[in-house]
Amino acid sequence: MITQTHTLILSTPKLDLPFNPNVVELINSLVHNNLCNIEYFGGELDNQADYVDDSEQDRIDSTTFITLHFDQNTTDEVDYNLNEESVLNLILNVISENQIREVIVDDKDVEIYIY
């Protein structure tokens, strides 16, 4: 049986991230204070390099991206057509009810694996 993998990418103005942030508190705070946007919600993204122009690179440099990877074992079937509030509630439930397996933090972005 193939497990479906989901990806949610949140963005917020660039944050000064601690080396080991409490990602549950961070995401809760961003969501409850309306400080994040959904950039992508869907199946696992291909790791394909895209052409980025100067204006897009400026946006990337001034934004913190929080990428969450989770599979169907962490939630019921996922509808990618959910409204923004439902998606944010879904991810809050996923991070509060499941074990975070790995967190990778660089100078401005966070990758979270929940399996």
Which residues, including other chains, have CB under 8 Å from residue 51's CB and lie 6 or more apart?
none
Residue 21 has pLDDT above 60, yes or no: yes
Per-residue model confidence as pLDDT tens digits over 27-82: 999 999 999 999 999 987 765 456 678 888 898 899 999 999 998 776 777 888 99
What average pLDDT score do residues 90-114 get? 91
Which residues, including other chains, have CB under 8 Å from residue 29's CB and lie 6 or more apart?
35
Query: Which pair of structure tokens corresponds to residue 86?
Result: 């439902």
Per-residue model confidence as pLDDT tens digits over 80-95: 899 999 999 999 999 9
